[in-house]
Amino acid sequence: MRTAEGGAAEGGDPGHAGLADLFARPFLETVWRRRTHRVSRGAAVPAGSMSYRSPHEPRPLSELEEAVLIALTGCTGLTMPDRPFDDPRDGKPIMAKPNMTMAGRTAGSPDNAQGTHFFLINDSGTYFLRRLPPAPSTPLDATSLVARARQAKVRVLDHRLDVAEDRRDFPAYLDSNRFLSNLPGTTVLFPVVDLSHQYINALMYLLTQPDDVRPTLVDDRNFYQPAGVKKWVKNGFLNGDIKLPLGALGPLRTQIEADLLLQNLMLSAEAMGLGAWIHASINPQIALGDPKFSRAYGRMLGFTFVTPRWRLPDLWRWHVPLPKYASLRSQPVGLTSPDGEPLIEAACPPAHRTMTEAVDAVIRAKFGPGGTYGDKEVFARIYKEEYGQRYLAEASEYEERVIDCTRDICEYILRTHRRFPAHTDAIHVPGVWLQVHHVETEYYDKFFADGLTDAHRSHEGLWDD
């Protein structure tokens, strides 16, 4: 086995020259030299006098190259609940268990919600990447990486997620992207974000504020009326003078994790000497199979959509003029594998009969048996000595008033707007994806003064089996 300059990464021999080079490559060098390389092996670039057509066949990523990228989308160890338990102003306990999971990832997420799921698209099909238990904190060797990647992949389509060749234009693809995006030989990583579970969790976190500054949720799509919280204002639990519109919550920043993960993936692909390109994906509604587009483009990924039944108030609340336009408010709520396995289930109907049941399911997932804060062994691994048990005993959880008020808000949203959430989608699609490919090195050498890094130039010798 050849050994790259710099040797193996700390933690042992990675068992592969390309991995050894990747583990030893300076981070700042990769960041400083990061540039988008859109032209993949085998591609053609129609550009007037600078037109170029590759003399090569497309060359897909190897299983190991894809396995590295798959590992970077997943869990990488355990995180730390390093937050205060008490308000330093008066010593009162503050809620200190907001996390949805204690598994660490390569990018941060509000309350560690980790709502981002990835699809991987290559020449052999389209795959959902299943969340695996946390990997060791040190880099894995080649054999382990490939084994974990195989465990993670669930094939949902036996072909590339794409539209017909004669439909590769707007609204499916944007402008010049359609000539270089999602081509044979490329690997595409496509994120979608389940906002629903964190939407419920974040509502509870909002309601843990001190008594005098706990906000009153109002509905900006219903004349700014209290969002199911009149009794909570009346009994003093909420401050009626501090009004927070549901629309202002948006996706509660949960979608940011996907963007951070894409950037990490792009930097890692660059360090491997691959081309990496974050750009507009297929229109998200088309890609997921929104009923507004499925007649023209097919079911695509085949997400389950819910379309609220039209009612007269939808005219002024959501500007939906007639029942025949009800699909304007359709939203994705889940995905099932070809074998019937639920892959994504939003915390709302139809996965739950009521929003009270959905809220209770979130609570159980956090505090019930085997839940995030119910597994003492996990905290024994996070903390030294007996500090894990101290944390579980001393850190406060959501009080019952917080949970009850959240139930009322969520029930109000579903009752009033016939979907949950109403002001954002249960499953959000950022609308960008990352394409990774082998670079057409001759193209960059021909036209650009500094188009390639040493990682690109040495890639073939290090990574080819």
> pLDDT tens-digit profile of 189-209?
999 999 999 999 999 999 999
**Measured CA angle at 251 (ends 245, 252), to 5 deg:** 75
- pLDDT of 364 above 80: yes
pLDDT at 11: 45
Q: Is 104 helix (H, G, I), strand (E, B) or coil?
A: strand
Is 174 domain-assigned?
Answer: yes
Q: State CA 64 to chain mean position distance.
A: 22
- pLDDT of 243 above 60: yes
Question: What is the average per-residue pLDDT within 53-81?
Answer: 96
Burial class, 318, CB count within 10 angstroms (exposed 0-12 / middle 13-18 / buried 19+) = middle
Instruction: Please tell me the distance from the alpha carbon of residue 237 to that of residue 270, in angstroms, as a whole number.
Output: 52
**H-assigned helices in 85-128:** none
Is 159 domain-assigned?
Answer: yes
Please count the structural domains in the chain. Answer: 1
- Percent of the chain residues topping a pLDDT of 90: 92
pLDDT at 120: 98
Q: Is 295 helix (H, G, I), strand (E, B) or coil?
A: helix
pLDDT at 8: 39
- pLDDT of 3 above 90: no
User: Buried b / exposed e across 106-122, counting CB within 10 Å, b at 16+?
Assistant: bbebbbbbbbbbbbbbb
Is 458 domain-assigned?
Answer: no
Instruction: Please tell me the distance from the alpha carbon of residue 153 to that of residue 239, in angstroms, as a whole number.
Output: 48
Q: Is 161 helix (H, G, I), strand (E, B) or coil?
A: coil
DSSP 357-378: HHHHHHHHHHHSTTSTTT-HHH
Q: Which range of residues forms the domain containing residue 431? A: 60-437
Is 266 domain-assigned?
Answer: yes
Phi–psi pair at 244, nearest 5 degrees: -125, 110
Closest of 196, 199, 234 to residue 216, by C-alpha: 234
Closest of 130, 170, 34 to residue 341, by C-alpha: 130
Are 262 and 107 in contact, with CB atoms under 8 Å apart? Answer: no
Q: Which residues contact 12 (CB under 8 A, 6 or more apart)?
A: 138, 141
> pLDDT tens-digit profile of 103-158?
999 999 999 999 999 999 999 999 999 999 887 767 789 999 999 999 999 999 99
Are 428 and 434 in contact, with CB atoms under 8 Å apart? Answer: no
pLDDT at 15: 79
Question: What is the average per-residue pLDDT within 345-359?
Answer: 98
Q: Would you place residue 5 in the very low, low, confident or very high pLDDT band (cuts 50, 70, 90)?
A: very low
pLDDT at 465: 64
Is 52 domain-assigned?
Answer: no
- pLDDT of 343 above 60: yes
Question: What is the average per-residue pLDDT within 6-28?
Answer: 75
pTM, two decimals, is: 0.94
Are 287 and 161 in contact, with CB atoms under 8 Å apart? Answer: yes
In one-letter notation, the amino acid at residue 104 is G
pLDDT at 113: 96
Instruction: Please tell me the distance from the alpha carbon of residue 301 to that of residue 289, in angstroms, as a whole number.
Output: 6
Question: What is the average per-residue pLDDT within 34-60?
Answer: 97
Instruction: Please tell me the distance from the alpha carbon of residue 308 to that of residue 306, in angstroms, as a whole number.
Output: 6
Other C-beta atoms closer than 10 Å to the C-beta of 378 total: 18
Q: Which residues in 261-319 belong to E strands, given as ranges?
A: 275-280, 304-306
Q: Which residues contact 243 (CB under 8 A, 6 or more apart)?
A: 215, 216, 218, 224
Average pLDDT, the chain: 94
Other C-beta atoms closer than 10 Å to the C-beta of 82 total: 7
Is 302 domain-assigned?
Answer: yes
Closest of 180, 181, 187 to residue 67, by C-alpha: 187
> pLDDT tens-digit profile of 382-429?
999 999 999 999 999 999 999 999 999 999 999 999 999 999 999 999
Q: State CA 298 to chain mean position distance.
A: 24
Instruction: Please tell me the distance from the alpha carbon of residue 161 to that of residue 110, in angstroms, as a whole number.
Output: 30
Is 23 domain-assigned?
Answer: no
> pLDDT tens-digit profile of 293-341?
999 999 999 999 999 999 999 999 999 999 999 999 999 999 999 999 9
State both tokens at 52: 């170029």
pLDDT at 91: 87
Is 14 domain-assigned?
Answer: no
Are 416 and 222 in contact, with CB atoms under 8 Å apart? Answer: yes
For the chain, the first-to-last Cα distance in angstroms comes to 10
